[in-house]
Amino acid sequence: MLRLFALLLVFDAVCVLAQGQSIPNTWPQDYPGKPSGDFSPEWQNYFEVKDPLPNVTVPLTRSFAGSIPVNRAGHPNDTLFFWAFEKQNGSLTVPANKTNLEPWVIWLQGGPGSSGMLGFTEENGPLRIQPDSSFVANNFSWNVLADTFWIDQPVGTGWSTADSTGYVADEDQTGEDFLGFLSNVVKVFPSLATRPLYLTGESYAGTYIPYITKHIFSTPNPPVKLRKIAIGDGSLGSLATIRELPTLNIIETNPQLINYDPDVFNYFKEQEHLCGFDLNLTYPQTGGNFPTLLIQSGSSQSSAESLLLESESRYAGLSWKGRIAKKFLEKQTEGSVPLERRHQKREEWKRDLSGRPNGTIDPFYGCDLFDEMVDYALNFSFPWTNGGFDVYDIPDGTNPEPPANARPFFNDDRTRAAIHAPTSKNWSSSFSYPFGNVHNRSAGLPSNQHGDPSVEYVRQLVFRAPQS
Ligand SMILES: *[C@@H]1O[C@H](CO)[C@@H](O)[C@H](O)[C@H]1NC(C)=O
Ligand SMILES: *[C@@H]1O[C@H](CO)[C@@H](O)[C@H](O)[C@H]1NC(C)=O
Ligand SMILES: *[C@@H]1O[C@H](CO)[C@@H](O)[C@H](O)[C@H]1NC(C)=O
Ligand SMILES: *[C@@H]1O[C@H](CO)[C@@H](O)[C@H](O)[C@H]1NC(C)=O
Ligand SMILES: *[C@@H]1O[C@H](CO)[C@@H](O)[C@H](O)[C@H]1NC(C)=O
Ligand SMILES: *[C@@H]1O[C@H](CO)[C@@H](O)[C@H](O)[C@H]1NC(C)=O
Ligand SMILES: *[C@@H]1O[C@H](CO)[C@@H](O)[C@H](O)[C@H]1NC(C)=O
Ligand SMILES: *[C@@H]1O[C@H](CO)[C@@H](O)[C@H](O)[C@H]1NC(C)=O
Ligand SMILES: *[C@@H]1O[C@H](CO)[C@@H](O)[C@H](O)[C@H]1NC(C)=O
Ligand SMILES: *[C@@H]1O[C@H](CO)[C@@H](O)[C@H](O)[C@H]1NC(C)=O
């Protein structure tokens, strides 16, 4: 049983490309010493990263990198790019051995269209990029625990390549491509065919990973033994789902938001249950599905909803951080409410929960638990910590994220050659992914309108209870 664990989603920043922009045509690069013929352990020597990397002085374990095709018919230039670090020298290249139960890990970025090299250099890889584009060691790199692959996918993302008609149309194709890639990877590193695989990622990988899992589970003899999946700040289902479902997780992680008050916690927990957000995931799924969170239009709109729609348009164009910051500033300018009165209100609210709905969904907030949580924090936690309440810490632990730019590193010819990266393109951390080979995004649309046809596509956020 897998309790849904998702923190608040922060969409990876993507460069907005106007509609009509041409679709890149890219292909992998052959470097000297490339073996001929099918993939085999002979390729390990070719993929091994042997040349010195610019700016890298920290000791690293052995690593392997390069392009591997996804085996899609008619698209030989469709490849995924991997950079794999061993836990210990030799741990990845051991011969196949069914009693080797050392796990191995795959890390995927989100976007859609963000490179796994972003996580590699900024999050969980052995090299941590600094604001001046130099590197320090990350002693907490995931390859300390297991052989770890950082992968660029779907085809065309980061260092991965695709011909201009070869981008994925949807998530089922993403899953199929990934299986094709894996079937080649296990020929290069045969021990991986039987070792337990932990498939992990963040953000939009929350969409990729379930589809990849679906394809592994529906393939009679899959190339790998998938053991666990893990998704951080995952983007699953609709935007409304992403925003609302993790509210209780946010409170559990940041209980200062509700002043560590168990009654208030239980109140939110009940609301979560009434809204159907406390979903347990199983395979196959037996305990119900994600609630369908849709904006209801037409005359049935409640006044609370109109009010919130209005507030929605007031905050239009702002990120969730921006929205919270704006609300926060508005509260700060409410200087007329003295501190004692705020404390008093908080005590009233806390003590007299009978005034709150019990057993029913709050008629004002509906299932917009995220907004209710933010309002609670702004109403009652602020200025509880005397201005120390940092809106950017809900719940972003790396505040502020250091500005980092790995482009000089990846696009340096020495790096490119050392990691066997393509020369037909330059690396960028993110691009607007052209699902179905079209840039389905015109200027001015929110970043969620990425054109992936496989997921529930909801422009507006939810403000009402789910309809059964
Ligand atoms: C592991 O391999 C790397 C790269 O070849 C090398 O620099 C390092 O010294 C090796 N480490 C050990 C412990 O052998
Ligand atoms: C693949 O890339 C090569 C360049 O290396 C190019 O000549 C060839 O036409 C491409 N194939 C397809 C199907 O796009
Ligand atoms: C297989 O792996 C296990 C565990 O790592 C090891 O004890 C055993 O010696 C290996 N067997 C062979 C034939 O390499
Ligand atoms: C990482 O570990 C090395 C060796 O133990 C140590 O010198 C270095 O200070 C550590 N770096 C950080 C950021 O903790
Ligand atoms: C989810 O599973 C946990 C642990 O088994 C259980 O306590 C909880 O009641 C379940 N939630 C739902 C909604 O079934
Ligand atoms: C809700 O109702 C239950 C059962 O009637 C009661 O035990 C609980 O105290 C009530 N909670 C609130 C917040 O009124
Ligand atoms: C926050 O305060 C406003 C009034 O300023 C009130 O309408 C709203 O219900 C409060 N929300 C919460 C969650 O406390
Ligand atoms: C190396 O680091 C310096 C800063 O120390 C930076 O200016 C430069 O762009 C980096 N070069 C590469 C190739 O990463
Ligand atoms: C990569 O960037 C360099 C420098 O900006 C540029 O000259 C080159 O044309 C680019 N290559 C490709 C394939 O876009
Ligand atoms: C763009 O995406 C929307 C929503 O998925 C879809 O209705 C529309 O047909 C797409 N346009 C193109 C040109 O693919």
pLDDT, tens digit (0-9, with 9 covering 90-100), for 440-456: 654 444 444 567 877 75
Domains of the chain: total: 2
The helix-helix angle for 205-217 and 171-188 (nearest 10°) equals: 70
Q: How does residue 306 score in pLDDT terms, banded at 50, 70 and 90? A: very low
Q: Is 352 in the pocket of ligand 6 (CB under 6 A)?
A: no
Determine contact, residues 149/195, Cβ cutoff 8 Å: no
Q: Residue type at 317?
A: G
pLDDT tens track for 415-446: 999 999 999 999 999 998 999 998 765 444 44
Residue nearest to atom 11 of ligand 2 (CA): 77
ω into 154 cis (within 30 of 0): yes
Picking from 296, 308, 279, 265, the residue whose alpha carbon sits closest to that of residue 466 is 296
- Same structural domain for residues 125 and 224? yes
Please report the pLDDT score of residue 451 as a whole number. Answer: 76
CA–CA distances in Å: residue 409 to residues 45, 46, 359, 373, 374? 23, 21, 56, 41, 40
| Residues 310 and 207 both lie in one domain | no
- Does residue 377 share a domain with residue 398? no
Q: Which residues line ligand 7 (CB under 6 A)?
A: 372, 375-376, 379
Position 1 in a domain: no
CA 416 to chain CA mean position, Å? 26
pLDDT tens digits along 67-93: 999 999 999 999 999 999 999 999 999
CA–CA dist 370, 251 (Å, integer): 10
Global confidence as pTM: 0.81
Model pLDDT, residue 13: 35
Segment among 160-164, 216-220, 323-327, 398-402 with least mean pLDDT: 398-402
Shortest-distance Cα residue to atom 7 of ligand 5:
280
DSSP string computed for 86-118: -SSTTTTTSPP-TT----EEEEE--TTTB-HHH
Which range in 157-171, 391-405, 450-464 is most confidently predicted, on average pLDDT? 157-171
Same structural domain, 177 and 326: no
Instruction: Determine whether the shortest distance from the Cβ of 355 to ligand 6 is under 6 A.
Output: no
Residues in the chain: 468
**Residue 376 and residue 416 in one domain:** no
Residue 128: strand, helix, or coil = strand
pLDDT score, position 260: 84
Tokens of 465: 């209870």
CA–CA distance, 213 with 197 (Å, rounded to integer)? 11
Q: Which domain holds residue 151?
A: 13-236+394-454
The answer to whether residues 332 and 428 belong to one domain is no
372 and 399 co-located in one domain = no
Q: Is residue 25 part of a domain?
A: yes
How far from chain centre, in Å, is Cα 6?
A: 10
CA 123 to centroid of ligand 1, rounded, Å: 23
Phi (first) and psi of residue 322, to 5 degrees: -60, -40
The protein residue whose alpha carbon is closest to atom 10 in ligand 5 is 280
Cβ–Cβ < 8 Å for 77, 162 = yes
Number of neighbours of residue 57 by Cβ within 10 angstroms = 10
Ligand 1 atom 2: residue of nearest CA: 62
The larger pLDDT score, comparing residue 245 to residue 120, is at 120
For residue 415, which ligand has an atom nearest its CA? 8
